[in-house]
Structure 1
């Protein structure tokens, strides 16, 4: 349940998530190339699959960053009302 202070206290970690995803993508690409050169195709495929997952995550993070500040409600948005516990 919202308390009403979320818009002023909430912080988005999208930039941190972007940095970590880029770091993970770099390691996944490095691992794919290194294992392919070393003759370990199974590990190369695993690193390639991890790189694909990281690429999808990067796409979503960038999309959310580009959406801008409208993603979170402002101070003029009142807190949600508690759900009605009575069942008819």
Structure 2
């Protein structure tokens, strides 16, 4: 159901983001190690920066998952009700 208020009532697919973050984490660690061993310092640094970004995202996703159904509602929780008075 589209109400036009999706940006304020949107929910994130946190479990999907968790698995994508884990996939990115594994590749960033592998890329950092592989490029460092191959002597490609620039690429190793780029993968290391990506590793930090993925770790920060993974931390945030895990935090939101642990906060419970407010951030990750289950199938038994209905969608948010549209606001009574839309914001201009």
TM-score above 0.5 = yes
Please identify the structure whose Cα radius of gyration is greater. 1
**RMSD, aligned CA:** 2.7
Verify: 1:30 aligned to 2:49, yes or no: no
The question of 1:82 aligning with 2:81 is answered no
Residue 80 (structure 1) shift: 1.2
Shift of 1:13: 1.3
Q: Which runs of 5+ in 1 are unaligned?
A: none
Q: Which has the higher contact order (CA 8 A, sep 6+)?
A: 1
Give the TM-score normalised by the residue count of structure 1. 0.73
Q: Normalising by structure 2, what TM-score?
A: 0.73
| Structure with the larger helix share | 1
Deviation >3 Å, runs of 4+: 71-75
Quick check: 2:65–2:72 contact (8 Å CA) kept in 1? no
| 1:54 match | 54
Number of corresponding residues: 78
Relative to structure 1, the CA distance from residue 70 to residue 37 in structure 2 (aligned partners, 3 Å threshold; closer, same or farther) is: same
